Chains A and B, each alone.
Chain A
Amino acid sequence: QQQVKQSPQSLIVQKGGISIINCAYENTAFDYFPWYQQFPGKGPALLIAIRPDVSEKKEGRFTISFNKSAKQFSLHIMDSQPGDSATYFCAAMSRGGGTGFQKLVFGTGTRLLVSP
């Protein structure tokens, strides 16, 4: 099943709070899980990524938590700032069919608004 489910659809967090976005997948062939950040009028940009051999990855205020057995992963944004207001997409990548080339499947996105 080439699908990644993402929630919530939208999120409002106060400045300084923690933003949490969750994703779930079915395909056990996925072996790379990136998060992308997209500002209005811009293309998505890679924020942070994790492989299934680790349970957590932290980069600055951004942390990915990964639960392989539950096939779930989440993005935590600590000390959320108004500049973090954007749409966040989780994604999953697997080697595509017999070609061996990677194929990126995106979640539906979460619109985050951090209020001042």
Chain B
Amino acid sequence: EAGVAQSPRYKIIEKRQSVAFWCNPISGHATLYWYQQILGQGPKLLIQFQNNGVVDDSQLPKDRFSAERLKGVDSTLKIQPAKLEDSAVYLCASSPPRAGGKNEQYFGPGTRLTVT
């Protein structure tokens, strides 16, 4: 099966500019996640969707970050305006409906954002 797709793979912007990332999860996966991975750290969950509804956005900096998942499939994550500390890899992941106790999340390759 096709994996989680993300675009673009790399993005360089100046501070105070805006940027958007796109994610297409694995077909049939109801749950979609956006993570921020700063260099040298583990991924940190920003937002979690179940179908097109938000179930956890407690760590999303809502003054500058926004995300949506229209029609419960693709998702976009936007940063406006960007700050230097937003430089990171933004990972999208998806997981199937939980069956038999399986909890696996499948990650995309990420978008590396550099804010100058």
Which of A's residues lie within 8 Å of B, judged by CB? 4, 6, 32, 34, 41-46, 49, 51, 89, 91, 93, 96-97, 99, 101-109
- Cβ-neighbour of A109 out of B40, B93, B108 (below 8 A): B40
Known contacts A109-B40, A109-B41, A109-B42; A43/B103 CB under 8 A: no
Which of A41, A42, A43, A45: most chain B Cβ within 10 A? A43
Q: Is A103 touching B31 in the complex (CB atoms < 8 A)?
A: no
Q: Provide the residues of chain A in CB contact with B91, threshold 8 Å.
A: 43-44
In the bound assembly, the distance between CA atoms of A96 and B16 in angstroms comes to 33
Residues of A contacting B: mostly: strand
Q: Is B103 touching A42 in the complex (CB atoms < 8 A)?
A: no
- Cβ-neighbour of A46 out of B4, B42, B48, B105 (below 8 A): B105
Q: Please tell me the number of chain B residues within 8 Å of chain A, measured between CB atoms.
A: 25
Number of cross-chain contacts by CB at 8 Å = 59
Q: Is A104 touching B109 in the complex (CB atoms < 8 A)?
A: no
Q: Provide the residues of chain B in CB contact with A6, threshold 8 Å.
A: 42
Which of A44, A49, A96, A108: most chain B Cβ within 10 A? A44
Q: Is B104 touching A43 in the complex (CB atoms < 8 A)?
A: no
- Closest Cβ–Cβ distance, residue A101 to chain B (whole Å): 5
In the bound assembly, the distance between CA atoms of A42 and B109 in angstroms comes to 5
Q: Is B41 touching A108 in the complex (CB atoms < 8 A)?
A: yes
In the bound assembly, the distance between CA atoms of A104 and B56 in angstroms comes to 12
